[in-house]
Structures are given as structure tokens and as C-alpha cells.
Amino acid sequence: MAISDYEMIQAWRQVLSLSNLKSGETVTILTNVLTNPQTLQTATIAARDMGAIVNRLDLPPMNGEKSLSRDALAYVGTTPLTGNKAAMALLKESDLVLDLMLLLFSPEQGEILESGTRMLLAVEPPEVLARMVPTEADRSRVLAASAKLQKAKEMHVVSKGGTNVRFKLGQYPMLEEYGFVDKPGRWDHWPSGFLATWPVEGQSNGTIVIDKGDILLPQKNYVNEPIILHVEDGFVKKMEGGIDTELLRDFIETYEDPEAYAISHIGWGLQDRARWSVLGLYDREATIGMDARAFAGNFLFSLGPNTEAGGNRNTACHIDIPLRNCTVMLDGQEVVHQGKVVNEVVA
């Protein structure tokens, strides 16, 4: 169902207020040909109404000839900002960048954030944004969970479907996504509501079963039969299963990069307003699947790059895989029990 411009302007005002937008600050809106026009228009109105100086930086799309999907996360790393000194200067001089294009997994993003610029990604359809407008409660819940994760030395994930995998922790920082950017140099994503980190390099081992009904992204598919991943020393070394396994393997092989099989970020969803079941209700080319990434109680892991965490694995292949019905333990203490967040632990 469509969302009115009025509702979207109010949503933007809440997000910008939570992001500490002040009158006189410079906001640059980063766009491309795929940017949703309603999202752009309402963001511009809300920011100007709050007294901001608003610029728009429109950049051409890239990597379409290399990617097997129109999803912006299907081929990552090189961006329209690569070597673009003029665009980088504008973004680094901005107080707040609203990324309506999707800039991720690039050294340019890190450079912009290091300058102190706040950056908020918002590329989901307006109706998804409006359903999951972030709140202070979202922030509190994610940060409470983060405090637990920061202290942990090991994450152990099991499921009745056969998942039994251990990840050593402590090498990399936290990825705390609660939907707004409230301090200099912070990046976040509206909508969101999940927590993640990256395991110690080479110290992830066990079996991950992507079970029936679990989701592959950017494929945006519900798995119809189990895909069994055997993880050794931080990499998927063997994949077993039927046609879904063959499709996943073929997709990864197109990148011709062994680092595409590496375990990337790991964590769990904390957003009650995100739903596992809605992926099939949206146009697959209009959404990047944030409901799937953020729904409360999922175990979300990914394969591919770790540049977001300051690592050197810059593979163009990035696959996010949210699993249902898992139990997630930190040093033996459950934070998710069979797909349900243990609220007394992360509250």
C-alpha cells in the first residue's frame, strides 16, 4: 500500500531529529538513476524544513555489466566515487550524507566517515521505511546486546536442522545498526535493527545448515531444501545439497575469487517490526531485503568482504544469509533461543 508524502516527511523528520540534524548543517543527498523519487523528495523537504543546507549529488550506476542481479549488493567494492575527487570533497565537507544510492564495502565510504561526516543509508521502498521508522528504543536494545557481544570470546550457533558452528571473537569491532546516525563519523541504515561483528580470521569452524524457509540475499529467495556448508578455518570448504546448493555454488563461482567463500559478519536480528514472511510480497527489484536481515531472532551471517570492519578482504561477492530457529550463545549464554531473542539478556 502506498505511503503519503506527508507520512514520509514526518518519518524523515523523526530520523533526522534522532540523527541530531541542526539548522545550518549541510546535508548532501547521494542519488542515482534507481533512487526512489518519493524518498528523495520527502527527504529534501524534511531536511530543508529543519533548516539544513541541502545538496544533491547524482552519480551514474556502476558494475551492471559484471553483476548477475540488479540488486545493488550483488557486486560490491568499486563505486562511482572511486577516483572521483570532486564528489569526495563535497561528501567529506558535508555534516550529513543521506545515501539513497547504496554505497557500501568501499574505501571511499570509510574515508568519508573518517572525516566526521555522518552517513545514513535509506534505499528500501517508502512503505518499508515508514513501517520501521527508528526509535530511541531500537538504539537501546541494539546497544544493550552489543555490550554483551563485545565481552564475548566465542559465538556458538546450533539448530535442530543441523547447524553447529563456533566463531572466535575479539579481532573486529561491532556493527550496531539501529537506524540513525547520532554522532560524528557514524554510519547506519534505515530500516535496520540488528547487531553483528566479524569473527577472528581463520577461526570459524563447524557446520551451517541453511534450512528450508531460510533466505539468501541478494537472491531474495526462500530456500526449498537444506544447503549444508562445512566451515573450516574461516572458509566454506564444502557445500552439500540439491538444486538450491547448485544455484548458490554457481553464483559464487562467477566471481572467480576464493575469498567469496570466507565467513564475513555474524550476528542476530533485533527488530520486532521486521518480518521474515514479507520478502515475497515486494517487488524483488525494489527492495534489498532489510526485513530479512533484521527480523528479531534470526541468526544472520554473511560470506565475502570484511572491509567494513577494517579488514583487507575486498571481494566483490557479498551474500547475506538470515537463518530461522537457531540458538545463538555467547560464551555459553543464550542470547537467542530457537529463533526467539532472550530479552532478559539483551534488554
Q: Which domains does the chain have, with CATH numbers?
A: 5-131 (3.40.50.2300), 136-346 (no CATH)
Instruction: List all residues 6 or more positions away from 116 whose beta carbon is below 8 Å from its beta carbon.
Output: 184, 185
For residue 75, the model assigns a pLDDT of 62
d(CA 204, CA 166): 6
Q: What is the pLDDT of residues 230-250, one digit of tens each?
A: 999 999 999 999 999 999 999
Q: Which three cell numbers stand for residue 308?
A: 567494513
Summary mean pLDDT of the chain: 94
State residue 37's pLDDT score.
Answer: 97
Q: Which residues of 12-36 are buried (b: 16+ CB within 10 A; e: fewer)?
A: bbbbbebbbbeeebbbbbbbbeebb
CA distance 240 to 228: 5
In this predicted model, what pLDDT tens digit does every residue of 159-186 receive, in sequence order?
999 999 999 999 999 999 999 999 999 9
Under a CB-based contact definition with an 8 Å cutoff, are residues 54 and 95 in contact? no
Q: Is 63 left (phi over 0), alpha (psi -120 to 50) or beta?
A: left
User: If residue 113 lies in a helix (H) or strand (E), which one and from where to where?
Assistant: helix 107-114
The answer, yes or no, to whether residue 262 has pLDDT greater than 70, is yes
**Is the per-residue pLDDT at 100 higher than 70?**
yes
**Residue 68 confidence (pLDDT):** 62
Q: Can you tell me the mean pLDDT for 55-71?
A: 76
Cell of 23: 539548522
Q: How far apart are CA 301 and CA 231, in angstroms?
A: 12
